[in-house]
Amino acid sequence: MAAIDEHRFVNLINEHQGLIHKVCIMYENDPEVRNDLFQEIVLQLWRSFPTFRGEAKITTWMYRIALNTAISGFRKETRKIKTEDLREVHFNITEGSDDSEENLHRLQVAIRQLNEIDRAMIMMALEEVPYEEIAETIGISQNNVRVRMNRIREKLRKLMLERWS
Amino acid sequence: MELEDLKDIWKQHTAVFPRKNEAEIAAMLKGTSRSIVAKLKRSVWFELIFTLIAGIAMVIYGMTLPSGAMKWMSISIPVIFIAYAVYYIKKLILLSRFNPLEGNIRSSIETLINDLSAYLRFYRRSYTVLYPVYFALGILFGLLEKGTVDIIGILSKPKTILMLSIVAVIFYLTSTWVVNWMLKKLYGNHLDKLKSLLHDIHQKNSE
C-alpha cells in the first residue's frame, strides 16, 4: 500500500514539477539553495499527502504547501550564497522572439522585487488560480486580494517600466 | 498594464527547468527535512539525549562519592533534569503532531511564531531561573564540602554579600548574553522574518 502511494506521489510530482520549480525560482537566487528548497517542498508534500482528501484542486494544495515552505518553513543554511541571474535559468520561448523573452525577464525580475506575500499572490494570479483560492491560501479576504492585486499590478508596471528605461 | 497583459507575458513562455526524473524524486522522499519544525525537533532530541546522559552520568558519579555535600549535589541536579526531560518529551509529541505548512500561509506563520516564541521563552526563563539555582547550590555545597558549619554567619557578612553579588551579576549577565546570542543566531532571524511577514498579511487584511 505504501509502495503504491509512493509511486502515485512520485508520478504526481513528476507531472506537476513545473509548479514547484516556478516557486523555487521566484524565491531563491542560489541554484544550490533552490535545489534544497525543491527537495524540502517535495518532502513537505509527501508528509501532507496522506491528509490530502481531494477537496481542493491538486494544484491548489501543491501551491499552498510549496509557498508555505518557501515563505515560512524553509530555513537556509548560513553559507556563502551564490546568486544567479534569471537569464541563466533556461527558458523555452514558445513564440520565440527577443522581445517576449525580454518581457518575461522583466516581469520575473519585477516579481522578485516584491515582498514575499505579494510574490505568492501574483504568482498564483498569473497561473490563473481563482481569487477565492488565493484568499484561502494566504488567509485574507477575497476583497483584500482584489485590492491588493491592483496595487501589485501597478507596482509591477512601474518596476517593469523602470527596467525598460 | 492590466493583469491580463501580465498573464499573457507569463504564458507566452514555457519554462524548461532542470527536470527531475522519478528516481531523483523518490530519493528526495528519504532526505532530511530542513524545515524550521524539523530543526526544532532535532534540537529538542539533542537536548533530551544530552540531559538524560548528563543526568545519568551525574547520578553514577554521585553514587561513587562518600556521603557528603558533593554527593548530594551530584544527585540533586539530575532531579532538576527530570523536569527538563518531561518538557522535552512533551514538546516532541507536540512537534510531531502538527504540520504547520498544511494550513493557509497566515495560520502557518502564526503557528510557527507561537511555537518558536514559546520555545525561546522557555529557554530564556529556564536559564534565568536555573543559573541562580546552580550558583546558590554551588556556593552552598562548596561551603558544606569545606566543613563550614556557620554558613549563615559567613553569608551574612557584608563583604561576602558584596563579593557574591558582584560574581552573581557577572555570572547572570554573561550567561544571559550567551543564551540570547545563541538563540538569536539559531532562531532569532527566522522569527523576525516571520513576524514581519505576519505584519504584512495583517496590513493587507486591514486595507
Q: Which residue of B has its CA nearest to A47?
A: B99
Residues B81, B111, single domain; the answer is no
Residue with cell 501589485: A152
Q: Is position B22 within any domain? A: no
Which residues from B are below 8 Å from A72, CB to CB?
A: 36, 100-101, 105, 108-109, 112, 194, 197
ipTM more than 0.90? no
Distance in Å, alpha carbon of A10 to nearest chain B alpha carbon: 6
Q: Answer whether residue B190 is part of any domain.
A: yes
pLDDT digits (tens, 9 = 90+) for B187-202: 888 888 899 999 988 8
pLDDT class of B100 with cuts at 50, 70, 90 = low
Q: Is B108 on the interface with A (CB under 8 A)?
A: yes
Lowest average pLDDT, out of A11-15, A148-152, B39-43, goes to B39-43
Angstrom distance (rounded) from CA A138 to CA B201 = 8
Write the residue in A42, A77, A157 that is nearest to B25 by C-beta.
A42
Residue of B64, B43, B98, B116 whose CA lies nearest to A51? B98
* Nearest partner of A129 among A60, A71, A68, judged by Cα: A60
Distance from CA of B16 to the nearest CA of A (A): 5
**Are B151 and B78 part of one and the same domain?**
no
Q: Angle, to 10 degrees, between the axis of helix A58-68 and the axis of helix A2-27?
A: 60
The residue with greater pLDDT, B65 or B13, is: B65
Confidence of residue A81 (pLDDT cuts 50, 70, 90): very low
Q: Is B18 domain-assigned?
A: no
- Cβ distance B35 to B101 under 8 Å? yes
Contacts of B16 in chain A (CB under 8 A): 90-92
Q: Which of A93, A125, A160 sits opposite B3 (nearest CB)?
A: A125
Query: A137 vs B13: CB contact, 8 Å cut-off?
Result: no
* pLDDT tens sequence across B6-44: 888 887 766 667 888 889 999 999 888 888 888 888 888
B31 Cα to chain A: minimum distance (Å) = 8
Specify whether B91 is located in the same domain as B115.
no
Mean pLDDT, chain A, integer:
82
Tell me which H or E stretch contains A91: strand A91-93
Residues B58, B149 within the same domain: no
What's the pLDDT score for residue A80? Answer: 46
Q: Where are the alpha helices (H) located in chain A, listed in sequence order?
A: 2-27, 31-48, 58-68, 98-112, 116-126, 131-138, 142-164
- Whether B112 and chain A come into contact, CB under 8 Å, resolves to yes
Q: Which residue has the higher pLDDT, A24 or B10?
A: A24
* Domains A1-84 and A96-165 in one fold: no
- Residue % of chain B over a pLDDT of 70: 91
Q: Which CATH architecture has domain A96-165?
A: Orthogonal Bundle (1.10)
Percent of chain A surpassing pLDDT 90: 42
A74 residue type, one letter:
F
Residue B60's domain comprises 32-97
Q: Which residues of A touch B11 (CB under 8 A)?
A: 126
A95 pLDDT above the threshold of 60: no
**Total tally of structural domains belonging to chain B:** 2
The rounded distance, in Å, linking the Cα atoms of B99 and B77 is 35
Residue B3 lies in a domain: no
Set of chain A residues whose Cβ sits within 8 Å of the Cβ of B112: 72-73
Measured CA to CA, the distance from residue B33 to residue B40 in angstroms comes to 11
Domain end marker among B74, B97, B120: B97
Are residues B114 and B74 part of one domain?
no
Whether residue B48 is found in the same domain as residue B138: no
A40 CA: distance to closest CA in chain B (Å): 6
| B25 vs A contacts (CB less than 8 Å) | 10, 13-14, 17, 42
Is the pLDDT reported for residue A122 higher than 50? yes
Name the pLDDT band for B119 (thresholds 50, 70, 90): confident
From the number of C-beta atoms within 10 Å of its C-beta (0-12, 13-18, 19+), residue B14 rates as exposed
Give Rg (Cα) of chain B: 26
- Report helix, strand or coil for A141: coil
Instruction: Verify that B168 and B189 share a domain, yes or no.
Output: yes
B140 belongs to a structural domain: yes
Q: Which segment of A68-72, B57-61, B156-160 scores lowest on mean pLDDT? A: B156-160
Same domain, B113 and B207: yes
- Domain A1-84 class, CATH top level: mainly alpha
Q: Assess if residue B10 is contained within a domain.
A: no
Reported residue count of chain A is: 165
Structural domain contains residue B207: yes
Nearest to B121 by CA among B165, B87, B149: B87
More confident residue, A138 or B131: A138
Tell me, what's the pLDDT at A85? 52
Cβ–Cβ below 8 Å for B101 and A72: yes
If asked whether residues B61 and B78 sit together in one domain, one would say yes
Same domain, B80 and B147: no
Q: What share of chain A in percent tops pLDDT 70?
A: 82
Q: What angle do CA A58, A61, A67 make, to 5 degrees?
A: 135
Domain-located, residue B25? no
Shortest alpha-carbon distance between residue B73 and chain A (Å): 40
pLDDT band at B142 (very low <50, low <70, confident <90, very high): confident
The beta-carbon neighbor of B14 closest among A69, A92, A125 is A92
Which residue, of B76, B97, B118, is where some domain finishes?
A: B97
Non-local (6+) Cβ contacts of B198 within 8 A are B106, B109, B110, B113
Residues B124 and B205 in one domain: yes
Would you state the cell numbers that stand for residue B79, as one nine-digit string?
532531579
Chain B residues with CB under 8 Å of A11 CB are 22
Kindly determine whether residue B22 and residue A137, on different chains, have CB atoms separated by under 8 Å: no
Domain boundaries, chain A: 1-84, 96-165
Q: Regarding predicted confidence, which is higher, A80 or A52?
A: A52
Of A7, A112, A17, nearest in space to A62 by CA: A17
The most confident of A17-21, B65-69, B128-132, B152-156, by mean pLDDT = A17-21
Residue the block writes with cell 541571474: A85
Q: Based on the domain organization, do B141 and B196 belong to the same domain?
A: yes
Cβ A114 vs Cβ A149: under 8 Å = no
